[in-house]
Chains A and B, each alone.
Chain A
């Protein structure tokens, strides 16, 4: 195949995949550069540079704790959001072994939750999966019933879905969990920094690169009184909760990004949400045979997903890439597996021709205009190539 020049300069690419990762926040960049010089030493040691690293770490912990509604001593930093989830799920199941072996999860949780559930099942535990409706919302009544069954050790529910943006009934489910005496792990990866953390969690997980912090920082908060035992070999770090040397500069940058993000959200959230509303309204008007997916109102401010009938997802992403849009999809041929997204499957919505648009902080209205301008013709051309007119 002959090489061809990239049709669009990198500088003009519109990045519309914030749900995969948010570009580094300027406040995080500044904090990172400072902390690389001031916070490189081992925070567990006693000399001056070490104490300074410890101080930076404590300060970052206090800031993150305040924003997520936790006590500082309940918060640990992991090396990723996925690690926080694995440790949160498996550690709580371990701590609650005497209570039972049942784990209740929502069908559209992030794969990190479902993969941890598979490990639990492989080790002889029981997993009950609660279904979702057509918008992707977990059935709160079914969830309440599931957690009330004897032997339930843990329940897991995300704050909002990472593929379709629908908010989950966390406080309602938390009430049912409290009544049943079952801890609730809440995965706040997509909403932290954008929406207030719902009340009622026992274990909370989040991921810094989703809110504009650097990669390599996850948050694991375990409420006082929640039984939890590390599933890993014990280590002195992070109050014995997380093994391995803390990445202090990245943690400091993550806290700075979260603080900046939370402060900006009152303005930026509604702005992004209005752009999402516009995409939700315009796409079905401009493109025939499109299903816009997820809840139109009870949703994250920055994510909108739709599926185009008679269109192959991979072709759609390739054409959008050529037109200068960085965007992702839950269609099977676009993922590393041959199966469509488990989220779209569980919802029972169209899985082919799927596009997830997720708006980063500061996205220009012009990028959305241009997206809406190029999409109809791209879809029409792909359909025509398959003989659909």
Chain B
């Protein structure tokens, strides 16, 4: 069964089958964010609830990095951004597994 890659520095955007939600991932080097939410070990929807609660902590245009390792978060955080009109900036692999998913506060 097709599954996205989830380890190493391989960017998910390399796979042809990865549509919209995966496009943001480009470089393995992770830039600074204004706030980091540690949701490692938490199952969806908890990482998304944590993000929704704290997105307004950063200033407009600020970036929240959500650290999560539940496979559902990889798809669901970009989907949440689309539904809530915030920006999914990029997704970076974390060296110990999981991802750092960067979200820009748009309003």
Contacts of A351 in B (CB 8 A): 44, 72, 75-76, 79
How many Å lie between the Cα of A48 and that of B82 in the bound state? 67
Contact of B72 among A114, A289, A331 (CB under 8 A): A331
| Closest chain B CB from A116 CB (angstroms) | 10
Contact call A310/B45, Cβ cutoff below 8 A: yes
Among B68-88, those with CB < 8 Å from A are: 70-72, 74-76, 78-80, 82-83
How many Å lie between the Cα of A128 and that of B19 in the bound state? 15
What does DSSP make chain B's interface, helix, strand, loop or mixed?
helix
Per-residue CB contact flags for chain B residues 1-25 toward chain A (1 = under 8 Å, else 0) read: 1111000000000011111111000
Contact call B49/A310, Cβ cutoff below 8 A: yes
Contact call A352/B48, Cβ cutoff below 8 A: yes
Among A305-357, those with CB < 8 Å from B are: 309-312, 331-333, 338-340, 342, 344-353
A386 at the interface (CB under 8 A from B): yes
Contacts of B16 in A (CB 8 A): 128-131, 142
Contact of A352 among B1, B2, B4, B44 (CB under 8 A): B44
How many Å lie between the Cα of A133 and that of B23 in the bound state? 13
Contact of A340 among B1, B22, B52, B72 (CB under 8 A): B72
User: Which residue in chain A gives the minimum CB-CB distance to B1?
Assistant: A114
User: Which residue in chain A gives the minimum CB-CB distance to B4?
Assistant: A345
A107 at the interface (CB under 8 A from B): yes
Per-residue CB contact flags for chain B residues 38-74 toward chain A (1 = under 8 Å, else 0) read: 0000011110110010000000000000000011101
A364 at the interface (CB under 8 A from B): no
How many Å lie between the Cα of A351 and that of B83 in the bound state? 13
| Closest chain B CB from A117 CB (angstroms) | 8
- Residue of A107, A111, A118 contacting most chain B CB atoms (<10 Å): A107
Contacts of A105 in B (CB 8 A): 2
How many Å lie between the Cα of A363 and that of B64 in the bound state? 46
With A309-B45, A310-B45, A342-B2 already in contact, the answer to whether A348 and B71 are too (CB < 8 A) is no
Contact of B75 among A130, A289, A344 (CB under 8 A): A344
Contact call B19/A291, Cβ cutoff below 8 A: no
Q: Interface of B with A (CB < 8 Å)?
A: 1-4, 15-22, 43-46, 48-49, 52, 70-72, 74-76, 78-80, 82-83
A-B contact pairs, 19 of them (CB 8 A): A105-B2, A114-B1, A114-B2, A115-B1, A129-B16, A130-B16, A131-B18, A132-B19, A133-B19, A309-B45, A310-B49, A311-B45, A333-B43, A339-B71, A340-B72, A342-B3, A351-B44, A352-B72, A388-B49
